[in-house]
Amino acid sequence: MSFNLPENLEFTVTPRLVAENNDLRSINWVAGVTDPGEMIACGYLPQLRRLANEQDAAYLARITPLMQALPQKTQDRIMGAALKRASLSVAADGQVQVVVAGEAARRGWWHQLGKAFEDTLTVSQAFTQAKMDYRVDKIAGEWSDAAGNRHTSKKQFVLVRQDTGAELNWVGPKYKVCQNIDAFSFVDDVLRGYGGARISSCGVLYDGAKVWIQAEFPQFAYKARGAEHKATALLTNSHGDEPIWVFATDQRVCCANTRRLALHDRFKGLRIQHTGDMKSKIKEAQAALGLAMPQFAKSADEASVLARTPLSVQPYAAAVLDAVLGVTDVEAALRQQRLAPLAVSDAIAKLEHDLELRTAKKTKMLEAVLAAYDSDRATGRGTAYDAYQALSDAADHTFAVGRKTENFRSRQMESILTGDADDLKVVAYEAALASAR
């Protein structure tokens, strides 16, 4: 079931459709392998890995015949992995619910599914074209006892997408559904104050459980290493297991995996939980998006500074990894323990083992950073921007570090090995900026 858009979302100019593909079996899984955010199958098919300094076009040309020569069973497995990585939703009429527009469409999007438009869109246009106006209902769980009596739960509720009947998630009694139309209705009003801000992508994921829209701000674009970087804001709504997020990011989103990468920037923005007064919280999101605009200008200025600052990647990355992994802290503790009047051998042995683990992890992570640096640089500029991007790329695609805790410096090695990369990227960015001062 759909419902009418509010008056402030109505539009009159019909966008020009340049491509549409709703056949999930035609997903461009070969391009998915070339996308650094995907790396489908490269773990068990080493011949598909990108070679040192191999550019995208050359990589695609080399691996396309290799992929097509694989047994059909292996191709099907890779296609399944690609579809899972994308996790694109399909509307009741069979339309793949992804829209890309403007430069995002001209540059191409790896899966080649959904709709592509010549120019960027208004929120209302994007919303309508991606069929994001479906309703989500919160329904109490039910069961029958041994006597056949029906009971209705007061503790567990299922979220159901009304047009397709898809079961999205189970939630508690305090959970408030925020319909997509309500989560995004304010965006046009905010963007109107920043001329040229338009929607470059939007879509629906996981059968309708998650949605996003991404707005571009051309006036805040900047150049680094000869490439132009667009300033964008990402707004996401989730039905069940995530809050609403409003934040700035330069990661282009076209699927579940690229959305996941963009979410590394979510702590720069506003989080809205699905509880309490949702109307007042949506007003907070509107204010947050307005406040994010100056941050775009600041990010552009900082990127320009980093791109002009010479920096050697190896000592920079080593220092960042020392700080994040706590190698320096453990070394200091070990020296102190050895110098203590009553040195305890068990304590020293424990610290030595801890240092060995952290140092080994640092070595592997540093190798990954240097590999990313060598494969990604088009020229030998050797700037702070290059060094930070290499470390950031490695953090996103190769290794993970621990979540921030109150005891950040002395957290256990297990958390370093199993957490996410947010801490490392924050420390890396601050260190890169410090090198420019």
Task: Dump pLDDT digits (tens) for 223-246.
Answer: 666 666 677 888 899 999 888 888
- pLDDT digit string (tens) for 61-74? 888 898 889 899 88
| Average pLDDT value for residue range 329-340 | 74
User: What confidence score (pLDDT) does residue 92 get?
Assistant: 93
Task: Kindly give the pairing relationship between strand 270-272 and strand 150-161.
Answer: unpaired
pLDDT band for 157, please (50, 70, 90 cuts). very high
**Tokens at residue 165, please?**
């009947």
Higher pLDDT, 288 or 164: 164
Question: How large is the angle between the packed helices 384-397 and 422-435, nearest 10 degrees?
Answer: 170
Report the C-alpha gap between 116 and 102 in whole angstroms: 8
| Average pLDDT value for residue range 337-342 | 67
Q: What is the largest CA-CA distance in the chain?
A: 82
b/e string for 279-298 if b means 16 or more Cβ within 10 A?
eebbeebbebbeebbebbee
> What are the two backbone dihedrals, phi and then psi, of residue 353, each rounded to the nearest 5 degrees?
-65, -40
User: What confidence score (pLDDT) does residue 225 get?
Assistant: 61
Higher pLDDT, 332 or 379: 332
Report the C-alpha gap between 202 and 178 in whole angstroms: 17
Which of 34-38, 50-54, 254-258, 287-291 is the most confident on average? 254-258
CA 130 to chain centre: 20
Residue 366 has pLDDT above 80, yes or no: yes
User: What confidence score (pLDDT) does residue 290 get?
Assistant: 64
Residue 377 has pLDDT above 60, yes or no: no
DSSP line for 237-282: EESSSS-EEEEEE----SSHHHHHHHGGGGGGSEEE-SSS-HHHHH
Residue 63's alpha-carbon distances to 77, 310, 392, in angstroms, are 17, 35, 26
101 near 201, Cβ under 8 Å? yes
> What are the two backbone dihedrals, phi and then psi, of residue 292, each rounded to the nearest 5 degrees?
-75, -20
Residue 214 has pLDDT above 90, yes or no: yes
Phi-psi region of 94 (alpha: psi -120 to 50; beta: other; left: phi over 0): left
Residue 283's alpha-carbon distances to 182, 183, 199, 272, in angstroms, are 11, 10, 20, 10
Residue 10 has pLDDT above 60, yes or no: no
User: What confidence score (pLDDT) does residue 169 get?
Assistant: 94
Residue 193 has pLDDT above 70, yes or no: no
In terms of DSSP H, where are the helices of 69-216?
Answer: 72-86, 103-107, 123-129, 180-184, 187-191
Residue 415 has pLDDT above 50, yes or no: no
Neighbours of 206 (CB within 10 A): 18
Higher pLDDT, 366 or 293: 366
User: What confidence score (pLDDT) does residue 303 get?
Assistant: 79
Higher pLDDT, 111 or 219: 111
Higher pLDDT, 82 or 219: 82
pLDDT band for 266, please (50, 70, 90 cuts). confident
Higher pLDDT, 303 or 199: 199
User: What confidence score (pLDDT) does residue 341 get?
Assistant: 61
Q: Give the H/E segment covering residue 318.
A: helix 313-325
181 near 113, Cβ under 8 Å? no
Average pLDDT for the chain: 79
The closest of 289, 5, 253 to 129, measured between CA atoms, is 5
Q: Give the H/E segment covering residue 346.
A: helix 345-376
User: What confidence score (pLDDT) does residue 386 get?
Assistant: 86
Residue with tokens 């996790």: 87
237 near 184, Cβ under 8 Å? yes
Share of the chain above pLDDT 90, in %: 26
- pLDDT digit string (tens) for 302-332? 877 888 899 999 999 988 888 888 777 777 7
Instruction: Identify the weakest region by mean pLDDT among 154-158, 350-354, 419-423.
Output: 419-423
- pLDDT digit string (tens) for 15-58? 899 999 999 989 987 777 765 545 555 566 788 877 777 777 78
421 near 264, Cβ under 8 Å? yes
Higher pLDDT, 334 or 357: 357
142 near 151, Cβ under 8 Å? yes
Residue 411 has pLDDT above 70, yes or no: no
User: What confidence score (pLDDT) does residue 261 get?
Assistant: 83
What's the predicted TM-score (pTM) here? 0.68
User: What confidence score (pLDDT) does residue 254 get?
Assistant: 93
Neighbours of 56 (CB within 10 A): 12
User: What confidence score (pLDDT) does residue 204 get?
Assistant: 97
Single-letter code of the amino acid located at 274: H
